[in-house]
Amino acid sequence: MTTERPNSWAAEAIRRVRTGGLHLAPTPLRPLALPAFRDVEIYFKDESAHPTGSMKYRLVRAMFCEAIASGAIRSDTPVIAAASGAVAVAGARFARLLGLVFTAVVPAKTSADVLARIEGEGGRWQVGEQPPAAVQEEARALAEQLGGHFLDHFRDAERAVAGCGEPTIADEIFDQMRGEAHPVPEWIVTGAGTGATSAAIGRHLR
């Protein structure tokens, strides 16, 4: 009779999450031609190439890895998120890879397309009964009620990205730029969201 090692599920789960069920490769760095500005070279980091079509896939992958490594997510842990878009879709996908139940608590005005995508990735959703600003706390309460893990992409994102042990978006950008005429960019512009992307780039530069 053989006994499964306590950490065997976690090791396999992290492997699955890191590969996403696919061969993991850097997302493309695409040049933008601007004939009127011949001395300016602009590149887009195309995060839509991720399996769920958003850079949130990268963020949620890191959060799952961190939660599994810390023991917050185990083989039977329900996962709950307060999200109405790309975070919920990615969360549902990773939970399905691990055979876990995923529930997104969404605002009342969440589009039918997003809800269908959550379901398509094997997730569940429920409309928050509180105003949109309170959906986060409602999801946290649901996680406590179910004995699950609350995937807090606002509070935990930056820490998870820093500690996930895999190349960050900044690592990828500078590695891809090595083959270009100007390998060190003068500017890097990011959107404003959870702050995980700008933090990862800032840490790399520092």
Q: What is the mean pLDDT of residues 40-52?
A: 89
Report pLDDT for 2.
44
> What confidence score (pLDDT) does residue 5 get?
55
Mean pLDDT value of segment 111-128: 94
pLDDT tens digits for range 63-111: 999 999 999 999 999 999 998 789 999 999 999 999 999 999 998 888 9
- Residue 90's pLDDT is 94
Do 173 and 29 contact (CB within 8 A), yes or no? yes
pLDDT at residue 165, rounded to an integer: 63
pLDDT at 197: 82
Amino acid symbol at 18: R
- 32 pLDDT more than 70: yes
Mean pLDDT, the chain, rounded, equals 86
CA proximity to 64, closest of 143, 10, 114: 10
Give the pLDDT score at 1: 43
Query: Looking at residues 32-41, what average pLDDT do you find?
Result: 85
Q: Is 104 helix (H, G, I), strand (E, B) or coil?
A: strand
Strands 124-127 and 149-150: unpaired
Token digits of residue 136: 């986060």
Planar angle of CA 82, 88, 174, nearest 5 degrees: 110
Give the residue-averaged pLDDT of 21-47.
83
Q: What's the pLDDT at 37?
A: 83
| pLDDT for position 25 | 74
pLDDT reported for residue 95: 97
Q: What residues contact residue 103 under an 8 Å CB cut-off, 6+ apart?
A: 78, 79, 80, 81, 123, 124, 125, 126, 142
